[in-house]
Amino acid sequence: MPPSLGTLELSILLAVTRLGNDAYGLAVRRDVSDRTRHDYSVGAVYTTLERLEIKGFVSSRVAASLPRRGGRARRHFKVTAAGRRALSESQRHATSIWGGLTIFNPEPT
Amino acid sequence: MIAPPRTAELILASLGAESQFRDAMLGDLAEEFGDRAERDGVCAARRWYYREATRSTPHLLRSWTQHVERKELARIGGVLVTSYMIAVMTFVFMLMAGIAIAVRLGMLLPTAPIWPNPSAFLLAGLTLYGAAFWTFVGYVVAWLDERTPLISALALVVVLACLALVSSGVGHNLGPVSVRFAASIVGALSPMAGAIIRIRFWQPTPNIEPRTVDAKLSSS
């Protein structure tokens, strides 16, 4: 059974994994927007991160506050063991459903 | 360091999102605003901030709806009723004072019936009076609700919009439907103007206790 991860959830979970200790909202948003070439709003990214946290796929901690953020703290995210399992399942599922298709070139329209 | 647009920031902060979610999001917006102001200039950064604030508003509202409890809704209902009563009492007092002053000064009050065919001037006056009244109600709502001022003002707008939809279909003596509808919409949106005036002097306070999800995860 594949994990219940949407496209944005998967992209954000991968970004949090990739960024490691630097995974906070803005960095995640930049990473996801660069890779998907879609300008996601800050709100969309945080809503998704919150959803992932409720699902238990990421955990968060609040760092020290910074003047350049108006005295607010960064909230750093980390992938949990459940999150890593979900990613692994998702990759296995994607590999499975793409199986047998060695070349995929869509016809130009 | 250049600060982001204060009103937009306060509007976002007053939408009742859970405090950690709200502060992290506003911090990110402020950080990105600073980067953009250095790179693209303040005007471009401000445009980006307003656009991003608009796009993020539904997400903040959704965060509030996900965490809201029944007692919070009851509290907002109480704020609306109290604000309405305060505003009615204030406006009745002002009306009576106005009449008393007019009588004192020997001004003539209209003796001819103004209904059922009110003039356009009277309609405009009533619309302005209504807008002023509801702007004041919106201000009082935001003043009374220290936690989620804009949520309460939005609740009032929803109530008024429903009443506007109903009332625009009745009262045929008050002019064409389009005029009545426009007047109703002006009245319905006025509380937001009042609330925004108020929140410029408002300081956000933590609204919900930190969630327990972190502790649960860290212990597992």
Would an 8 Å CB–CB cutoff place A60 in contact with chain B? yes
Residue A108 resides in a domain: no
Interior CA angle at A94 toward A90 and A97, to 5°? 135
Instruction: Return the residue of B nearest to A47 by Cα.
Output: B59
State which of B32, B67, B102 marks the end of a domain: B67
* Shared domain check, B79 and B54: no
pLDDT of residue B207: 42
- Reply yes or no on whether the pLDDT at B85 is more than 90: no
Assign A23 to helix, strand or coil.
coil
Interior CA angle at B8 toward B4 and B10, to 5°? 95
- Reply yes or no on whether the pLDDT at B153 is more than 90: no
Assign B114 to helix, strand or coil.
coil
Residue B184 resides in a domain: yes
Residue A28 resides in a domain: yes
The mean pLDDT of B174-192, rounded to a whole number, is 73
H or E element in which residue B29 lies = helix B19-40
Residue pLDDT, tens place only, B108-145? 555 555 555 556 666 677 778 878 888 888 898 888 88
Which CATH number is A82's domain given? 1.10.10.10
Residue pLDDT, tens place only, B2-17? 888 988 888 888 887 7
Q: Do A74 and B27 touch (CB under 8 A)?
A: yes
Instruction: Return the residue of B nearest to A80 by Cα.
Output: B217
Q: What does pTM read for this prediction?
A: 0.73
Residue A34 resides in a domain: yes
Within 8 A of A68 by CB-CB distance, chain B residues are 1, 30-31, 34
Residue A82 resides in a domain: yes
pLDDT of residue B131: 84
In this structure, of A30-39, A86-95, B26-35, B198-207, the range with the lowest mean pLDDT score is B198-207
Within 8 A of A61 by CB-CB distance, chain B residues are 214
* Shared domain check, B185 and B87: yes
Q: Do B3 and A75 touch (CB under 8 A)?
A: no
Assign B137 to helix, strand or coil.
helix
Counted domains in chain A: 1
Residue A65 main-chain phi, psi, to 5 deg: -75, 150
The mean pLDDT of B85-102, rounded to a whole number, is 83
Dihedral of CA atoms A6, A8, A12, A18 in degrees, nearest 10, equals 90
Where residue A79 falls among pLDDT bands split at 50, 70, 90? very high
* Shared domain check, B78 and B26: no
* Shared domain check, B116 and B56: no
- Reply yes or no on whether the pLDDT at B171 is more than 60: no
- Distance (Å, rounded) from C-alpha B168 to C-alpha A3? 50
Residue A100 resides in a domain: no
pLDDT of residue B213: 42
Q: Do A46 and B59 touch (CB under 8 A)?
A: yes
Write down the mean pLDDT value for chain A.
88
Residue B206 resides in a domain: no
* Shared domain check, B148 and B90: yes
Residue A2 resides in a domain: no
The mean pLDDT of A40-44, rounded to a whole number, is 90
* Shared domain check, B164 and B151: yes
Write down the mean pLDDT value for chain B.
78
The mean pLDDT of B62-69, rounded to a whole number, is 82
Residue pLDDT, tens place only, B23-48? 889 999 999 999 999 999 999 999 99
**B56, B109 contact by CB (below 8 A):** no
| B24 → closest Cβ in A44, A67, A75 | A75
Q: Do B28 and A67 touch (CB under 8 A)?
A: no
Judge if ipTM > 0.90.
no
Q: CB neighbours (10 Å) of residue B86?
A: 16
* Shared domain check, B29 and B80: no
* Shared domain check, B92 and B165: yes
What range defines the domain where residue A33 resides? Answer: 7-95
Instruction: Return the residue of A nearest to B62 by Cα.
Output: A47
Where residue B212 falls among pLDDT bands split at 50, 70, 90? very low
In this structure, of A99-103, B97-101, B188-192, the range with the lowest mean pLDDT score is A99-103
Counted domains in chain B: 2
**A75, A24 contact by CB (below 8 A):** yes
Please give the share of chain A, as a percent, with pLDDT higher than 90: 51
Q: Is B2 or B52 the better-scoring residue by pLDDT?
A: B52
* Shared domain check, B167 and B75: yes
HEC assignment per residue over A37-106: CCCCCHHHHHHHHHHHHHHCCEEEEEEEEEHHHCCEEEEEEEECHHHHHHHHHHHHHHHHHCCCCCCCCC
What range defines the domain where residue B109 resides? Answer: 70-199
H or E element in which residue B142 lies = helix B120-144
Residue B24 resides in a domain: yes
Return the amino acid letter for B88. Answer: V
Please give the share of chain B, as a percent, with pLDDT higher than 70: 78
Residue B219 resides in a domain: no
Please give the share of chain A, as a percent, with pLDDT higher than 70: 91
pLDDT of residue A107: 63
Dihedral of CA atoms A32, A36, A42, A44 in degrees, nearest 10, equals -110
pLDDT of residue B210: 42
* Shared domain check, B176 and B119: yes
pLDDT of residue A3: 60
Helices B19-40 + A25-36 axis angle, to 10:
60
In this structure, of A51-55, B86-90, B142-146, B184-188, the range with the lowest mean pLDDT score is B184-188
State which of B20, B37, B67 marks the end of a domain: B67
H or E element in which residue B116 lies = none
Chain A stretch 16-45, residues whose beta carbon is closer than 8 A to a beta carbon of chain B: 24-26, 29, 41-44
